[in-house]
Amino acid sequence: MIGASLGAAAYERASEISAILAVANPVGDRRLARLSSRPDVVLALSGIGISFGGVKALSDVDLEVEVGEIRAVIGPNGAGKSSLINIISGLYHADRGRIAIGGQSFSRVPASRLARLGVARTFQNLALFGGLSVRNNIACGRVHTRRASFVEHIAGLPRA
């Protein structure tokens, strides 16, 4: 039952992202490239590569994740797992290849825009504010979201 509800939630979120993408093109006015013609593919990576100081961290990575599917990225230290997740979440930009979310290209979109669409990651190391409760530590992360929404709201008001 839990798997079915997670699958339904993932499908609903993918539909929301597709609806947002249909309205607002995040990379300009040009038509966005489709990486996968399959409607059930939520995330598609094609030929992804990134190097750091001449050392290849990832080379020619292809991946498709379907609606409701859960994937694990495993490997030894230095295999490129974190680099891959950082590219998907927009924290790093791949040197090569393309990324599509909901069929729309997102190869050079800022992490902040992807986060507003629901694409985010967690980090391996925690940094909590000492003296604050768990609830208040979590609330600190929400302040940025609230401010961004307020600023966007103000920016959308008619000028006097």
Tokens of 132: 């604050």
What is the rounded average pLDDT for all residues in the chain? 74
Phi-psi region of 34 (alpha: psi -120 to 50; beta: other; left: phi over 0): beta
Number of domains in the chain: 2
Same domain, 66 and 133: no
As a whole number, mean pLDDT of residues 138-151 equals 59
pTM of the model: 0.57
Residues 148 and 90 in one domain: no
Q: Is the pLDDT of residue 145 over 70?
A: no
Q: Which domain holds residue 142?
A: 126-160
What's residue 62's pLDDT?
93
Q: What is the pLDDT of residues 50-108, one digit of tens each?
A: 999 989 999 999 999 888 888 888 999 989 999 999 999 888 999 999 998 887 887 77
Sign of the Cα pseudo-torsion (89, 91, 96, 98, in order): positive
Count of CB atoms within 10 A of residue 26's CB?
18
Are 44 and 83 found together in one domain?
yes
pLDDT in tens, 4-55: 565 666 666 666 655 555 444 444 333 334 455 566 788 899 999 999 998 9
CATH number of the CATH domain containing 59: 3.40.50.300
